[in-house]
């Protein structure tokens, strides 16, 4: 594809035609036109852009199929736009042209500063360069009237930063000067973090202004990031002479010429080299190469109802997304129906198990009642069983039978040779019958039981030697104390 980059300034315009074949870029033509060369008098400003572009187009030996145009800085504004990104994007992905309808606010002012950073879990604040709708449409109509198809309209500073960031992975500043206007861009890991536009004095080199702007930018970055961030260098374009370094709060930063031609990777045709020396053509070259590289510039200009414009522009994607959503909804409904059916099947199986358990437990019953009646019946029987397993002691204290048995088991010494054969609980009296090795074992058992908190007294009701044996039969009456069990 062949594309022509054009830069329009107060003094004139430049054009560069770049041909991209199999990923390689080649500069096939370049031209420049000054307003004063077209003016009939000293009033060079009277030459309008239409006349200037027409003369530039005639002087260009090779024109591209489309054009990418760099506009004067005063025609653009810098705005912050929130877009639905979940993560920070690299500079070639963060600013999609397709999201232009998301901006519907009025546009005013130029030198507004902010950073490009993640604003929340679901979206991001990005740096956007916005042109007023009427001005941009007039520019497009003006360019189309000359037989050219405008592909991109953007300030040169952004195009230059995009190109330089492609080959520079670190943290650096770029300074792009177009006559009396300078734009400072902060690039970190291929993302634009900051953009500041300011005017330079015409009567001096503007070094003091540059130092001041760099200082302010570093301070603003430190406030945003809660730490000082030290750039590696400053890349500048648009100056014939540059200082070796600029003073900053973090020390002197080295200053280098931004070699945009090398950064683009474009090769000059032999016939172009003499004209190229008359340059510079940095802005036109940068916007052409960045457009050919597929990078969409952050220029938003449409106003109106954003969802309607977005749907109109992306009808195919919206329809495919709608079909996908419908399929997912149908799958969800099918899953719900299957879940209800599976739940009913499991419920029927549980009811069948309840009926089988009921008939096997209560053998006198011939038929199983309904599930609700069966559940209430089983709950009643379980309640009765629980009550029968409780001993109501003194002071309305309820003690489980199992606790009484545990108390007896724990109280008896492990080496005591006593066998308990029967326990009977009647009105707070627990009668324990069994066999002991000798009478002293019975006496030891009595003393051990009396120490338990659940037992208030132990009485040996009877003891006699087993007929035909060596062991003693005994009967011990234990008085329970529910009050002490608390």
DSSP string, 368-428: ---HHHHHHHHHHHHHHHHHHTEEE-GGG-EEEHHHHHHHHHHHS-TT--EEEEEEEEETT
pLDDT exceeds cutoff 80 at 285: yes
Looking from the CA of 67 toward its CB, the CA atoms found within 13 Å total: 28
Q: Which domain holds residue 383?
A: 322-388
pLDDT for 130 equals 54
Q: What CATH number is attached to the domain comprising 412?
A: 3.30.1360.100
Domain boundary among the residues 357, 388, 419 is at: 388
Give exposure, 126-146, as e/b (b: 16+ Cβ within 10 Å). Answer: bbbbbbbeebbeebbebbeee
pLDDT for 298 equals 44
Domain boundary among the residues 269, 296, 313 is at: 313
**Residues of the chain with pLDDT > 90: what percent?**
6
Residues 420 and 432 in one domain: yes
Residues 455 and 379 in one domain: no
Average pLDDT over residues 395-410: 72
Average pLDDT over residues 404-428: 84
pLDDT for 171 equals 82
Residues 384 and 416 in one domain: no
SS3 call for 452: coil
Q: How far is Cα of residue 308 from the mean position of the Cα atoms in its chain?
A: 27
pLDDT for 88 equals 42
d(CA 311, CA 332): 26
Residues 286 and 407 in one domain: no
SS3 call for 226: coil
pLDDT exceeds cutoff 80 at 215: yes
Residues 283 and 402 in one domain: no
Residues 133 and 276 in one domain: yes
Residues 193 and 290 in one domain: yes
d(CA 40, CA 219): 49
Average pLDDT, the chain: 74
pLDDT exceeds cutoff 80 at 374: no
pLDDT for 29 equals 92
Residues 266 and 237 in one domain: yes
Q: How many residues does the chain have?
A: 486
pLDDT exceeds cutoff 80 at 178: no
pLDDT for 262 equals 84
Domain boundary among the residues 313, 331, 346 is at: 313
pLDDT for 310 equals 56
Q: How far is Cα of residue 324 from the mean position of the Cα atoms in its chain?
A: 23
The CA-based angle 385-388-392, given to 5 degrees, is 145
Residue 26: how many CB atoms within 10 A of its CB?
15
User: Is the model more confident about 335 or about 251?
Assistant: 335
> By C-alpha distance, which of 278, 293, 91, 292 is closest to 174?
91
Residues 300 and 172 in one domain: yes
Q: H helices of 207-362, where?
A: 207-225, 260-264, 273-276, 282-292, 306-313, 315-361
pLDDT exceeds cutoff 80 at 428: no
pLDDT for 304 equals 35
Average pLDDT over residues 110-139: 47
Residues 379 and 395 in one domain: no
Long-range contacts of 400-408 (CB under 8 A, 24+ apart): 401/425, 403/454, 403/485, 404/430, 404/454, 404/480, 407/452, 407/453, 407/454, 407/455, 408/432, 408/449, 408/452, 408/478
pLDDT exceeds cutoff 80 at 465: yes
Cβ pair 60, 29 in contact under 8 A: yes
Q: How confident is the model at residue 17 (pLDDT cuts 50, 70, 90)?
A: very high
The total domain count for the chain is 3
d(CA 342, CA 346): 6
Among 77-86, 137-146, 472-481, the minimum mean pLDDT is found in 77-86
Residues 225 and 130 in one domain: yes
pTM equals 0.49
Residues 288 and 399 in one domain: no
């Amino acid at each position: 594809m062949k594309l022509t980059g054009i830069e329009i300034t107060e003094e004139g315009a430049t054009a560069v035609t770049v041909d991209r074949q199999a990923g390689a870029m080649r500069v096939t033509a370049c031209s420049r036109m000054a307003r004063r060369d077209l003016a009939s008098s000293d009033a060079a400003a009277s030459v309008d852009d239409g006349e200037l572009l027409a003369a530039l187009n005639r002087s260009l030996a090779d024109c591209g199929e489309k054009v990418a145009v760099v506009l004067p800085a005063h025609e653009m504004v810098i705005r912050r736009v929130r877009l639905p990104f979940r993560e920070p994007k690299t500079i070639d992905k963060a600013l999609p042209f397709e999201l232009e309808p998301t901006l519907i606010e009025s546009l005013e002012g130029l030198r507004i500063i902010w950073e490009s950073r993640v604003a929340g879990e679901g979206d991001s604040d990005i740096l956007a360069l916005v042109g007023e709708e009427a001005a941009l449409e007039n520019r497009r109509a003006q360019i189309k009237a000359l037989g050219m198809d405008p592909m991109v309209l953007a300030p040169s500073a952004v195009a230059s930063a995009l190109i330089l960031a492609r080959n520079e992975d670190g943290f650096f500043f770029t300074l792009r000067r177009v006559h009396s206007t300078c734009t400072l861009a902060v690039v970190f890991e291929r993302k634009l973090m900051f953009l500041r536009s300011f005017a330079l004095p015409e009567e001096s080199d503007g070094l003091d202004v540059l130092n001041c702007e760099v200082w302010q930018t570093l301070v603003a970055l430190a406030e945003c990031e809660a730490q000082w961030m030290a750039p590696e260098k400053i890349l500048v374009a648009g100056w014939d002479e540059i200082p070796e370094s600029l003073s900053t709060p973090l020390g002197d930063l080295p200053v280098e010429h931004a070699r945009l031609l090398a950064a683009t990777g474009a090769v000059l045709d032999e016939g172009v080299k003499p004209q190229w020396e008359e340059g510079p053509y940095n802005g036109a070259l940068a916007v052409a190469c960045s457009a050919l590289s597929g990078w969409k510039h952050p220029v938003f200009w449409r106003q109106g109802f954003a969802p309607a414009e977005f749907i109109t522009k992306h009808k195919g994607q919206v329809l495919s997304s709608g079909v996908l959503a419908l399929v997912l909804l149908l799958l969800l409904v099918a899953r719900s129906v299957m879940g209800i059916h599976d739940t009913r099947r499991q419920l029927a199986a549980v009811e069948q198990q309840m009926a089988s358990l009921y008939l096997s437990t209560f053998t006198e019953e011939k038929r199983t009642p309904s599930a609700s009646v069966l559940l209430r019946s089983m709950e009643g029987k379980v309640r009765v069983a629980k009550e029968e397993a409780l001993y109501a002691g003194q002071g309305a204290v309820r003690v489980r039978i199992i606790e009484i048995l545990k108390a007896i088991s724990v109280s008896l010494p492990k080496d005591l040779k006593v066998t308990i054969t029967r326990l009977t609980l009647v009105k707070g009296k627990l009668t324990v019958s069994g066999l002991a090795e000798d009478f002293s074992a019975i006496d030891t058992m009595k003393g051990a039981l009396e120490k338990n908190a659940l037992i208030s007294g132990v009485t040996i009701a009877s003891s006699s030697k087993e007929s035909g044996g060596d062991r003693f039969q005994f009967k011990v009456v234990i008085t329970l104390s529910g009050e002490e069990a608390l």
